[in-house]
Amino acid sequence: MGTKNLNSATDLITFTRASGGTALRKVGYGTELVTNGTFDTDITGWTHFYQTLSSSTMSWDNGALSFTRGSSSGQGALQAITVEPNKVYLLTGDVVSVTEGTGNFSIWNGGTFPTVQLVNAQIEAENSASLVFASGSNTQMYIYLNCGSSRTAVFDNISVKQIFYDRATDPLVLYNHPNNTPRIEYNADGTAKGLLIEEARTNSVTYSNDFSDSSWDKINVSLTASSTTSPDGSSNGWKLTATGANYYFRITKTLSTVTTYSIYVKKDNADYVALGAGGGAKGFVINFSFATETIVDTNQWGGSVYESSIVENAGNGWYRIIVTGNQNGAGRNIAVFPWDSATAPTVTENHGATSTNSVYIYGAQTEESKSTPSSYIPTTGSTATRAADVASIPTSDFGYNSDAGSVYVDGTFLNGDTIVTLGSTTITADADGNKKYTTTYSSTPSATEIALNQGTYSDFKYYPRRLSNAQLQELTT
């Protein structure tokens, strides 16, 4: 029996995830598919679409497309685009203004209208749409722009481009993958880590990157929006500047359970940044040094318990700093602020310090009742849950031997996680999770699939025979 080599995680693996999911990945875009999406001089290329007799109108409006809808449904501005089957695309666009309600962006596959709209977004005035969609079996699809009954919306900068993954020349970004799209994760130096598989997790921070929202307490600090390119490649990193004594920046929530807190930070003129939980009476904090790229000090007080901390390099000067602990009922939640000393603050408020230093921040996350971090989950006004990744290989799809076999896996895993399940045969990570594992079986396991359960998988092999001890040792060295 020959060896079957697979270079893509999707060649053989059956994969689902009923939500988006972020990972640091090389992502690029193809050529522009929209004709005249910027409307510089006219609206050539766009069709005035209406399903029934309509009083709607479409016109050029000073470098944008203006659409006024009548009282009937099924009215809008339409353009056909040519796509490749089974590819992924990105639609972006702006709503310049709308008389009331929202301007609507949709992708239509040409089926019964308007019920078959594959993806859609309702965007308020002076905001942008960003929609990822899969082409399925289609070779032609349609961009459809409209608004509410008897209202006018003005659109601009309409764009559709194919998304490309893992090309060597593309930049690394913190990319939010569409539903059911496997995540190939990268290190900050551009080397591939492997296929990321995670359990379901929830970010309980309701405005994870809208730090201007009132849920974030701001005492003697100032915020500047769109200050720098964030880990996701957009201009939505925030500048956080201390402006006086006893400054802090936090959200309020009482927790009495082990929780993991995280945020992305980038150096401006502060040499250190503090991340903690709790307040003056109870809490814990870590102090991160940009110079050494490490946590240089920690503190805990008032019965709260600091457990552990992690630093992840996200590239382009960004770091994700992570702390786990138990606030023990403290009336404050995640707090982050620039710091001027290698010695960590003793509290996250009323610490007496005065500073005018600043740091860039992005993407806050609180994972309650979790002692380990998971990938970033964006939120926009409510908590959000990333669904579990489910990955398996049906035994009917390869040369499976039910009488004897061997399994090899390499990657990064957490102590105690079940990495592979093949019927009654399993591989479980130990305390040194970042290594190679093997297992064998010599009696018939009841198995219809090989399940990849949790971790980052850089290599996986199946042998339809029991390897010798010497062969197993060679694989893991």
- Reduce the secondary structure of 337-382 to three states and give it as a string: EEECCCCCCCCCCCCCCECCCEEEEEEEEEEECCCCCCCCCCCECC
pTM (two decimals): 0.90
Q: Do both 332 and 447 map to the same domain?
A: no
Q: Do both 139 and 221 map to the same domain?
A: no
Which residue is associated with the tokens 């003793």? 346
111 — phi, psi (to 5°)? -80, -160
Is 4 within a domain? no
Residue 393's nearest CA partner among 8, 13, 17, 15 is 13
Going through 198-326 in order, the beta strands assigned E by DSSP cover: 201-203, 216-219, 221-228, 237-242, 248-251, 258-267, 272-278, 283-289, 294-301, 305-315, 318-326
Tens digit of pLDDT per residue, the chain (477 long)?
445 554 455 668 999 999 999 999 999 999 999 999 999 999 999 999 887 667 899 999 999 999 999 887 788 999 999 999 999 999 999 999 999 999 999 998 887 765 545 677 888 888 888 888 889 899 999 999 999 999 999 999 999 999 999 999 999 999 999 899 999 999 999 999 999 999 999 999 999 999 999 999 999 999 999 899 999 999 999 999 999 999 999 999 889 999 999 999 999 999 999 999 998 899 999 999 999 999 999 999 999 999 999 999 999 999 999 999 999 998 889 999 999 999 999 999 989 999 999 999 999 999 999 999 999 999 999 999 999 999 999 999 888 999 999 999 999 999 999 999 999 899 999 988 778 999 999 887 779 999 999 999 999 999 999 999 999 999 998
**Exposure of 287 in the CB half-sphere (CA atoms within 13 A):** 18
Task: State the CATH number of the domain containing residue 339.
Answer: 2.60.120
Local structure of 285: helix, strand or coil: strand
Q: Are 319 and 337 in contact (CB under 8 A)?
A: no
Q: Do both 265 and 371 map to the same domain?
A: yes
Q: Do both 366 and 264 map to the same domain?
A: yes
350 — phi, psi (to 5°)? 55, 35
What integer pLDDT is reported at residue 1 of this predicted model?
40
Q: Do both 345 and 380 map to the same domain?
A: yes
Is 171 within a domain? no
Is 23 within a domain? no
376 burial via Cβ count (<10 Å: 0-12, 13-18, 19+): buried
What integer pLDDT is reported at residue 113 of this predicted model?
65
Which strands, in side-by-side order, build the sheet including 192-197?
183-186, 192-197, 455-463, 405-412, 436-441
Q: In the beta sheet, which residues pair with residue 324? A: 260, 308
As a whole number of angstroms, the distance between CA 162 and CA 79 comes to: 16
How much of the chain is in helix, strand and coil states, percent to nearest 5?
0, 50, 45
Is 241 within a domain? yes
Last residue of one domain, picked from the residues 329, 351, 386: 386
Q: Do both 219 and 296 map to the same domain?
A: yes
Check whether the bond before 114 is cis (ω within 30° of 0).
Answer: yes
Give the chain's domain count. 3
What integer pLDDT is reported at residue 192 of this predicted model?
95
Q: Do both 363 and 403 map to the same domain?
A: no
Which strands, in side-by-side order, build the sheet including 47-50?
47-50, 75-82, 140-147, 103-108, 117-123
Task: State the CATH number of the domain containing residue 136.
Answer: 2.60.120.260
Q: Do both 325 and 250 map to the same domain?
A: yes
Is 176 within a domain? no
What integer pLDDT is reported at residue 33 of this predicted model?
98
Q: Do both 381 and 398 map to the same domain?
A: no
Q: Do both 307 and 295 map to the same domain?
A: yes
Is 438 within a domain? yes
DSSP state of 126: T
71 burial via Cβ count (<10 Å: 0-12, 13-18, 19+): exposed
> What residues make up the domain containing 77?
47-164
Last residue of one domain, picked from the residues 164, 185, 219: 164
Last residue of one domain, picked from the residues 386, 413, 430: 386
Is 322 within a domain? yes
Local structure of 129: helix, strand or coil: strand
Is 187 within a domain? no
Q: Are 119 and 131 in contact (CB under 8 A)?
A: yes
What integer pLDDT is reported at residue 8 of this predicted model?
53
DSSP state of 389: P
Q: Do both 395 and 381 map to the same domain?
A: no
Q: What is the DSSP string of 150-203?
A: T-EEEEEEEEEEEEEES-TTSPEEEEEEPTT--EEEE-TTS-EEEEEE---EEE
Q: Do both 273 and 377 map to the same domain?
A: yes
